[in-house]
Each structure stands twice: as C-alpha cells, then as structure tokens.
Amino acid sequence: MPYFLLRLDEVSSYKIKLKGKDPQVLEGQSLTAIEALQRLQVKRLEDVVAVRLNGRICDVNVALDGEAELEPVYVDSPEGLEILRHSTSHVMAMAVKELFPGVKVTIGPAIEDGFYYDFDYERPFKEEDLPLIEEKMAEIIKANYPFERKEVSKEEAMRLFEEAGEKYKLELLQEIEDEKVSLYTQGTFTDLCRGPHIPSTGKIKAFKLTKVAGAYWRGDERREMLSRIYGVAFPNKKELRAYLQRLEEARKRNHVRLGPQLEIFNTYEEIGAGMVVWHPKGAMLRYILEDFEIKEHLKRGYELVRGPQLLKTELWKRSGHFENYRENMYFTVIDEQSYGIKPMNCLAHMMIYRSKIRSYRDLPKRYFELGTVHRHERSGVLHGLLRVREFTQDDAHIICTPEQLNQEIKGVLDFVKDVMGIFGFEYDLEISTRPEKSIGSDEDWDNATQALIKAMEDNNLPYDINEGDGAFYGPKIDVKLRDALGRKWQCATIQCDFTLPERFDLFYIGKDGEKHRPAMIHRVILGAIERFIGILIEHYAGAFPVWLAPVQAILLTVTDRHVSYGEKVLNQLKEADIRLESDFRNEKLGLKVREAQLMKIPYMLIIGDKEVEAQGVTPRLRTGENLPLMSVEAFIERVKQDCKERR
C-alpha cells in the first residue's frame, strides 16, 4: 500500500476548492487527494499523475487536512510530463539493478523530452544492452507496482544505502541538511528522491531507450566515469512515434555527419579536441556569412575594430575575468610576463574607447569585431561545431550614455529580428539575472536589469526570467532560436554592463563639462560563427539557400564532345561571380547528377547537344525538378535574384 504521513488530528469534513469552481465540502476520514478528485468527478481522472495542493505539487495519495486548494496535474501537462519521465527513470534503474548485479546507482532526472540515469558498473553499458533493459522495464510496467513514498530520518536512510553498498547515495545524503528525507520504492527498487511520482508503474504507456554515453560523477573530470543511459517517455504511443520520427530526421540532419560529407569542416585527433579545420567549402561559407555580417553592421553605424589574441594577465585581473572566469581561460608566459589568451573581446574595445577623451556628442560608439577567442571547455562537452575551444564571435560593444541605453538595446533587438528573419528562424527571449559569482554593486545590477526589461516591454516582446544565469559582470537577454524541427538553440545575447566601465574608468564629457560614466552593451547577433554554421547545417539539412550555398551550381556534361562548350559557360559564370564547380568526367550523366544531389548543390546545369546548339543551359534543381532550357545570361540573372531575395 502507498505510504501516507500520519496526521495528529483526524478530520471528518474537508473543504475542497478546485481551480475555477466554488468550494465544496466532502465528508469522510483520512481522505486523500485522489479520493477527493474521484468524489468530485474530475474529468480524465485516469490521466491524473499528481496534484497541486495549496500551490505545491504532490503525489496523488497525499493526505488532505481539512481545507485545501486542489488542482489535478495531468500527464500531458509540462509538470505531468516531467513527473512521468522522472518516474520512468526509476523504472529503468530498477530494471538495470535486476539485470546487472553489483551495479551502483547515482541520479536519474527528467530532462527535455526524456530522462537519463547514471550507473557505475564494472564495464560501460553498450547500445546492445538497451533492448534487454527495455524488455525488463516492460515487465515492471506490466506488474503495475505502486510508487510508495516514505519519510525517514537521514540516519536511517544512510544505514539503508550503506547496507545496499550505494556509495553515491551516501555522498548525496551527506550534503542534505534536513533531518528527514523521503524515499520512493517501486517493486524491488528504493531511491532517495523528493518526488512526486506517478501513482504506479502501469501509468507508463510509451517509452524508448535512445542511447548510452559516458558521464563523470557530478560533472567532475577528476571523479568516476559513469555510464549514462538516456530514454524518452510520452503519454501515449502516438506522441512517442512522432518524437522518434523527429529524432530520425534530426539524425539525418546531424551536422557532425553532414559537415564532413559536404566537405565543410572536420576535426582531427592529431590537431586537438575542440579545434575545427575548415575545408574550402566551409571557408567559403564562413566568408559569405562574415561578409554579410560586416555589411549589416556598417549599415547600422558600427565601426570595425580588431584586438590581439594575447593580453597581459594584469588586465584580466582588472576586468574580473581572472577571478571569475579563469577556469575557462588559457595562459602563457612570454619574457617573464604572464598573458591570457582572450576568451572575450571586450577589453580591447574598452582600450580603444579610452584612447582619447570622448564627448557626449561622440556617443554612442559601436565597436564591432569578428573576434576569434579561446575557451577551455571540458572534453566531455565538446561536440562538432556546437561546443569548441576556438571560435569566432560577431562581437560588438556599444558604449553610450545612460539616457541612450534604452534606444540602443531596442536597436539590437531589431537587429536580431531582421537577421533571424533572413535565415527563417523564430525565437524566444529570456532575461538572465545576477549569478552567485559576480562583480559590481546591487544598484548597478538593478539598473542594468531594469534597462533590459524596459526595452523588451517597450517593444512588446514576451520574455521569461532565467534566475541567476547572467554574465558575471551584468544581466543579459538570451535569444533561443527554433529551427526547422522546433529545437531550441542559444545564439544571440545582449548584456547590459555598468561594472566594467567603472573598473576601466571609462567616461565622457557631458553637457555640463563634467565627467560622466557611460553604460556598455556587450552583444552578439549570430553568436559563435562555428556554432551558428552547425545550427544552419541542421536547420537546412545541409541544403543551403542559393545566397548562402558555398557552391551555387555545378556544370555537368553529357559526353566528352560537350566539354569545350562547358568550359566556355564555366568562364561566363565565373565572370558573373557565380560560385560553381564542374564535372566534365567521361561518366554517365545519372551518376554525376546523383553525386551533385548528395552534395546538395542548388543548381545542376546540364550541357548536351541541345544546349550546345542553343548556346544555353538546362538547370536541374537539387529537388529533382527540371527547369526549361535558358540562356546563360538568364541563369545568371536567376541566381542574382535568388541572392537578392535571400533565397
């Protein structure tokens, strides 16, 4: 039977208020939340996995105590899904414990779309283990074990886990200050957990284990390497199937696979982890993006600047980076002088500002740099282009008067809107507030945060608050892109900073002839060029629009006798600045077309007898559609129109 907390007083009537309804009185003894919902004939009772009792989410079997505001939590709600997934992770842990004697369990949280659990076993788990674990999980679900909650003393919990040899649970318990802790049991498995959980294992209707990976205990490279098993869970099989289809589509779009296949980039163990090598097509793609960015910034009144890769360590101490960010930095010594390799571009930009006395008439100053930076990322988080150790940011710093701050922030928000529209991205916004590890006064942080909020509200932009995730020197607006599959990616950010101008004694001469302290905005639009290209590869599935494609067209001859005319067309297109390749091999046309389609080239220009006779080309789209024969000039105009309209 489920475990209930005993009450000191037994009540015989309960005043229940359901959301949106008048309060009702129920008679009885030891009434639980689920019993109250049954008697109140709440709809979809079979889909209720928890309740919100007086504002707190609890198990459905929580005992009521006289008067309560009660709301059912359904399995398809955000809270219900999280509870379902966390409960499924407990079922997976039970299955693993039964199948692999001696395994030790650690933690198993719910994550977006699913869950994971980390295990310590004599060998790493393999993909081949997953079907066996799934089969055991299905048995546990069919058995419909109840999730039983029990509160015990911390000492009793430590005794239980010590007897079980669960050293990781003991470590977690040692960090808990409360005298009592809660345990959840289903079947043969007991776990240290706050809960809540679904009523029983039979509530799990659709799940799938997806992959295995390595993970350090507590994310610490100095600690034990564990085996992490990932899975997904949904309220029904239809949603699971839809998710797995999206997962398969994501696999096809995976930039780590497509990047080398399309000859865009690669990484090499001989060079080093987190260091990207750009092949010719990738270097061209970067050039197109960077050229686009420079022009867009110049249109908006930014000035191009450039800072060095190495700056004296004393400067990083002055900025606060050494104290608050040095674990992410690289350092070197030259002529007995310590230098830091820059992880950010702001210091050089502030030195440029300080190079002469500025008047309020000179402001705002908008300094833009495509700045290459280096950050020490842990090897376990490095991934393709999305997490690297060397990358280039489209970094800018706007130094302005406090009165100009609102307009400048709104200007950046408009910039983000324009650029994301070009690439077809929708996005969400959130404001990240002061982290625990930070510099600056409370007043400066409050002013900076309010400046961001006001700009968002002036533009009627919805946003969420992300508590404690700001930069160490100021709060920020984070832009979360949504790609073609609806996945979210962090790219653009807008940070408001009153602290570094103070530390570097930046000032301007105001209308009154006195010195005044400026504000500073740190901002990126695309973010890291590497990361953005990785996102673009997956967003477009490698099929870049014509304006962005490294190769816009490829010439394909039918036979050797068409090569002479093909070379003439090749020169015409090069003169018109069309980015193209040619395939004049003596191979079957079908083979050439298939290879060009695999490289996702927008246009294939077929050259055979009729093209030579008409002195034209027949374009074929990578989708397989054939366009009518046209003149070379007409094709050039088509490509230029594609580029003009960013398609």
Instruction: Find out whether 240 and 207 touch, Cβ atoms under 8 Å.
Output: yes
Tokens of 555: 């010439």
pLDDT band, very low/low/confident/very high, at 194 (cuts 50, 70, 90): very high
Sequence-separated (6 or more) residues with CB below 8 Å from residue 458: 406, 410
Residues of the chain with CATH 3.30.930.10: 271-307+343-539
Above 60 in pLDDT, residue 213? yes
- Two tokens, residue 323: 């104290």
pLDDT of residue 33: 87
Instruction: Report whether the peptide linkage leading into residue 199 is cis, meaning its omega lies within 30 degrees of zero.
Output: no
The confidence band for 471, taking pLDDT boundaries of 50, 70 and 90, is confident
Give the model's pLDDT for residue 63.
Answer: 86
pLDDT tens for 353-380 read 999 999 999 999 999 999 999 999 887 7
Beta-carbon count within 10 A of 586 CB: 8
Strands (E), 264-321: 265-266, 277-278, 303-304, 310-312
Mean pLDDT (the chain, rounded)? 92
Window from 183-192, 485-494, 577-586 with minimum mean pLDDT: 485-494
Q: What are phi and psi of 402, to 5 degrees?
A: -55, -30
Burial label for 486, CB within 10 Å (0-12, 13-18, 19+), is: exposed
pLDDT class of 10 with cuts at 50, 70, 90? low
pTM of the model: 0.81
Cα–Cα distance, 15 to 17 (Å, whole number): 7
C-beta separation of 329 from 310 below 8 A? no
Query: Highest mean pLDDT range out of 24-38, 242-256, 298-312?
Result: 298-312
pLDDT in tens, 510-538: 999 999 999 999 999 999 999 999 999 99
pLDDT of amino acid 37: 87
Average pLDDT over residues 600-604: 97
Specify the CATH class of 79-253 in words: alpha beta
Q: Which range (28-42, 274-288, 394-408) has the least confidence?
A: 28-42
Q: Which residues contact 470 (CB under 8 A, 6 or more apart)?
A: 432, 433, 434, 435, 438, 476, 495
The DSSP output letter for 12 is S
Give tens-digit pLDDT for 412-441: 999 999 999 999 999 999 999 999 888 888
pLDDT value at position 402?
Answer: 92
Residue 247 has what pLDDT?
A: 87
> Does 304 have pLDDT greater than 90?
yes
CATH classification code of 271-307+343-539: 3.30.930.10
| Domain 553-644 CATH assignment equals 3.40.50.800 | yes
Within the chain, all domains assigned CATH 3.30.980.10 are found at: 79-253
Question: CATH 3.10.20.30: which residues of the chain?
Answer: 13-74
- The single residue listed with the structure tokens 């198993």 is 108
pLDDT for residue 320 is more than 60: yes
Cβ atoms < 10 Å from Cβ of 493: 19
Torsion over CA of 404, 410, 414 and 416, rounded to 10 degrees? 100
Report d(CA 543, CA 477) in Å as an integer: 31
Residue with tokens 């949504």: 482
Task: Tell me: pLDDT of 560 over 60.
Answer: yes
Residues designated as active site: 346, 375, 393, 395, 397, 476, 522
pLDDT at site 473: 85
Q: How far lies 80's CA from each of 72, 85, 132, 255, 363, in Å?
A: 10, 9, 27, 33, 51
The alpha carbon dihedral of 457, 460, 461, 462 has a sign of positive
Please state which of the four CATH numbers 3.10.20.30, 3.30.70.360, 3.30.70.20, 3.30.479.10 is assigned to the domain occupying 13-74.
3.10.20.30
Q: What is the pLDDT of residues 71-122, one digit of tens each?
A: 899 999 999 999 999 999 999 999 999 999 999 999 999 998 899 999 999 9
> So what's the pLDDT on residue 25?
79
